[in-house]
Amino acid sequence: AILAGTVVANALPRIIADLGASQSSYTWVVTSELLAMTATVPLWGKLADLFNQKLLLQLSLGLFVVGSLVAGFSQDV
């Protein structure tokens, strides 16, 4: 979560400028990231209580990488 927030905070102004997007788009990206993180933390906590924590960590890192690749290759906001 910390890594994702740092990546967004540092890279997003440049990404928004390169894609020609508005300040509103920047705000929506940051807000949706925080909302998704806040909404899923209790879910991951419960899953960690029920299942193997190592497997869940690997799954979450995999999802992060896939999401980062999708975002990185996007051509439009």
- List pLDDT tens digits, range 44-64: 889 889 999 999 989 988 988
Domain count, the chain: 1
What the block records as the tokens of 76 is 């439009």
Q: Is residue 77 part of a domain?
A: no
φ, ψ at 23 (rounded to 5°): -60, -30
Q: Are 12 and 29 in contact (CB under 8 A)?
A: yes
- Which residue range forms the structural domain that includes residue 12? 2-72
Q: What is the pTM of this model?
A: 0.56
Question: Does residue 46 lie within any of the structural domains?
Answer: yes
Q: What is the pLDDT of residue 76?
A: 73
